[in-house]
Amino acid sequence: MPELNAPAPHAVFVYGSLMYNPVWESVVQGDYGVLPAELRGYSRYRVPGETYPALIEDSAGVVQGRLWLNVDAEDLVRLDNFEGDEYRRTLVQVVDARARMQTAFVYVWQKPELLDGVPWDVSYFEAEGLGRFMQKHVASWQRSGRRQEEH
């Protein structure tokens, strides 16, 4: 498994707003391949008052997401800045759509005490949350290079 500061490219597993092309393409500059993927040993929860989710360790959990491939070092820095201090980039093993294990970075939530245990609702995000997320967080990112945080 590569080190956290190993030279890119790296795979990045995403499970929330960054699964959606309008968000991903607003943050990164490169053009990357992507596959559906699954992360075991974690669960995804809503962040109260927000549209985006938190990922925390959970031995019984399984999270569906997307695996962006061969992300370069500059875009990893952009992703780090976008995720901010609420998340920590860490290495995990994911199973991609071809049933192969891959090492990938993922952003893990750092403030579990703020969560209420309600799973993040992908359908709700797609129907109502994505537009709000784009207006609030992506617009802030585009202006300042940091996502707006209220915690």
Q: Return the pLDDT at 1.
A: 44
Q: By C-alpha distance, which of 58, 54, 71 is closest to 114?
A: 54
Residue 57 has pLDDT above 80, yes or no: yes
Q: By C-alpha distance, which of 90, 93, 91, 129 is closest to 110?
A: 90
Residue 132 has pLDDT above 90, yes or no: no
Query: Between these two residues, 28 and 132, which has the higher pLDDT value?
Result: 28
CA angle 67, 1, 57 (to 5 degrees): 65
What does the alpha-carbon distance between residue 72 and residue 6 come to, in Å, rounded to a whole number? 11
Model confidence, pTM: 0.88
What does the alpha-carbon distance between residue 55 and residue 16 come to, in Å, rounded to a whole number? 9
Q: How confident is the model over 86-92, as a mean pLDDT?
A: 96
Domain boundaries in the chain?
A: 10-144
What does the alpha-carbon distance between residue 151 and residue 146 come to, in Å, rounded to a whole number? 14
| Architecture of the domain made up of 10-144 | Roll (3.10)
Residue 94 has pLDDT above 60, yes or no: yes
Query: Between these two residues, 142 and 122, which has the higher pLDDT value?
Result: 122
User: Mean pLDDT score of the chain, rounded to an integer?
Assistant: 88
Which band of pLDDT confidence, cut at 50, 70 and 90, is reported for residue 150? very low
Q: How confident is the model over 13-23, as a mean pLDDT?
A: 95
Strands (E) located in the chain: 10-14, 34-46, 53-71, 87-96, 101-109
Which band of pLDDT confidence, cut at 50, 70 and 90, is reported for residue 9? confident
Residue 151 has pLDDT above 50, yes or no: no
> Reduced to 3 states, what is the DSSP secondary structure of residue 52?
coil
Q: By C-alpha distance, which of 63, 15, 44 is closest to 115?
A: 44
**Choice among 16-25, 92-101, 117-126, 130-139 with the minimum mean pLDDT:** 130-139
